[in-house]
Amino acid sequence: MAVDDPGSTQQVRLSFEGLPQRSAPLSWSQLYMWDFLSRMRPHDGQYTVCLETEVGQPVAVDDGLRIVGELIADHEALRTSYRPDETGLPRQYVAGNGQSDVYVLQESAADAWLAAQRERRFGTSGPPVDFALVQAGGTISRVAVIASHLAVDGWSAAVLRRQLRKRLAGRSCRTQEATVQPVDQSDWEATPAGQEANQAGLELWRRTIAEVPPGQLSPAALDSRPRYRQARVSSYAAGSALLGLARRHRTVPSAVLLAAYSQAVATTLGQRHPAFWVVVHNRFAPELQESVGCYFRETLVCLDTETRRTGDQITAAASALLQAFRRSHTNPRQVTELLLDHDRASYFDVARAFYYNFTVRSGAAGPPVEQPDPEWVGAKEFDGQVMHLNADLKGDQLTIRLMADTWCVPAQQIERILSSCLDYLRAG
């Protein structure tokens, strides 16, 4: 199918039928995101997932539509809608028959259209995902996926990009039968094993909350409107030191970074027991590696920084991260009840504006920067946290980006914390 008008955007209703149809309550990851999206500002698109894939060889529009149809058939999250049931609790409904929107764009109009989609908010109702085929000279030059975070988390976006590239190159990429779908995850959470995991996670929350300094999770600490600043540094030397420390102490680089970050926070801000909101990597299981959906997990970690030896600090951080991984499977609404019972902020507010957020991933690192590079950043980019450390490790190049609300953390301390992290790695 070609689009004759060079300035046009054509909407195609791509039909599917005869696929599995089922429904279930939201999984705990989906429920957290449902509550999160429900409380965001109208038209706030910061949790809209947008990904683009370049096409390396000529692919006709009809073939592009077929490939999109294969993705929709393989991944139930791409044809799932979300709405409350008769009791008011949100459920997911996987369609076996229906239509998905695919937009066929001319190259000249594509960038403006995609930029507008990046600002779009999907919310908690309506179709969770749209596709776009960018056409140039009668063949596809790019394929884009625009999705709600309810349907596609960060790992899933990488899965979709990888599978799109394989299919567009003419290679087979059928999803394995063992791949877990979001409804499967929800069904498991209702089993005795799932409920046991929830109770173990809640018990870890109880113990951790008791260790967090009183003012750090109180609702009053989350009221002010923040303004943000970031510092970034990229270093091969720090990356090599990080990997060397991880090998020496037989642990993962994220444990070493958490130890460095906790010591920097403790030294600079005077917190003996700093608490961290940790994004848990849960895609090690083979059945989750190629899954598309909302599966991410987050939890709370509190560290005692009184330990003086570097090895003990790293061991403690590794132990805390392992506990977080094993016991992060919890019902977010029960976590909120637990927090409020202890006169703390709700789960949503803690995640949205929590001290010392910490994430580590492997990914593309920025250009080398020898000194912290401070700049102001916007609220949308920062996501409302009080302080957030993000680290990218590619090969032995480490890039650390530290963002903070300057109403809570003075600008000069942001750079001091980042420098302290690097000093910790180099001294280790």
User: DSSP string covering 364-393, please?
Assistant: -----BSS---EEE-HHHHTT-SEEEEEEE
| CATH code of the region 9-186 | 3.30.559.10
CB 401 within 8 A of CB 414: no
pLDDT score recorded for residue 42: 52
Residue range(s) of every CATH 3.30.559.30 domain in the chain: 191-427
CB 140 within 8 A of CB 167: no
pLDDT score recorded for residue 351: 57
List the beta bridge partners of residue 231: 402
pLDDT score recorded for residue 381: 46
CB 313 within 8 A of CB 321: no
Fold of 191-427: Chloramphenicol Acetyltransferase (3.30.559)
Roughly what angle, to the nearest 10 degrees, separates helices 332-341 and 192-211? Answer: 30
pLDDT score recorded for residue 390: 80
Q: Which of 96-105, 220-229, 401-410 has the lowest mean pLDDT?
A: 220-229
Pairing of strands 9-16, 397-405: unpaired
pLDDT score recorded for residue 233: 84
- Given strand 22-25, what is the order of strands in its sheet? 22-25, 90-94, 80-84
Query: For residue range 23-48, what is the model confidence (pLDDT) as tens digits?
Result: 999 999 999 888 877 776 555 566 78
Where does the pLDDT of residue 78 fall: very low under 50, low under 70, confident under 90, or very high at 90 and above? Answer: very high
Say yes or no to pLDDT of 200 above 90.
yes
Where is pLDDT greater, at 373 or 275? 275
Say yes or no to pLDDT of 61 above 70.
yes
Which residues have a Cβ under 8 Å from the Cβ of 265 and sit 6 or more positions away? Answer: 271, 274, 305, 356, 387, 417
pLDDT above 90 covers a percentage of the chain that reads 30
pLDDT score recorded for residue 229: 79
pLDDT score recorded for residue 328: 86
Q: Which of 125, 128, 126 is nearest to 145 (CA)?
A: 128
- CA 417 vs CA 124, 233, 324, 399: distances in Å: 38, 12, 24, 14
pLDDT (average), residues 159-166: 91
pLDDT score recorded for residue 245: 93
Where does the pLDDT of residue 314 fall: very low under 50, low under 70, confident under 90, or very high at 90 and above? Answer: very high
Which residues have a Cβ under 8 Å from the Cβ of 184 and sit 6 or more positions away? Answer: none
Residue range(s) of every CATH 3.30.559.10 domain in the chain: 9-186
Where is pLDDT greater, at 404 or 132? 132
Say yes or no to pLDDT of 297 above 80.
yes
SS3 at position 396: coil
Query: For residue range 375-394, what is the model confidence (pLDDT) as tens digits?
Result: 554 444 444 556 778 888 88
Say yes or no to pLDDT of 360 above 60.
no
Which of 45-49, 80-84, 282-286 shows the highest mean pLDDT?
80-84
Query: For residue range 206-230, what is the model confidence (pLDDT) as tens digits?
Result: 998 888 877 666 655 555 555 777 7
pLDDT (average), residues 51-58: 87
Where does the pLDDT of residue 123 fall: very low under 50, low under 70, confident under 90, or very high at 90 and above? Answer: low
Torsion angle, alpha carbons of 145, 82, 156, 13, to 10: -30
pLDDT score recorded for residue 369: 39
pLDDT (average), residues 68-96: 92
Measured at the CA of 184, the angle between CA 180 and CA 185, to 5 degrees, comes to 85
Q: Which residue has the tokens 């060079």?
A: 6
* Tokens standing for residue 103: 């937009």
Where is pLDDT greater, at 160 or 349? 160
pLDDT score recorded for residue 124: 62
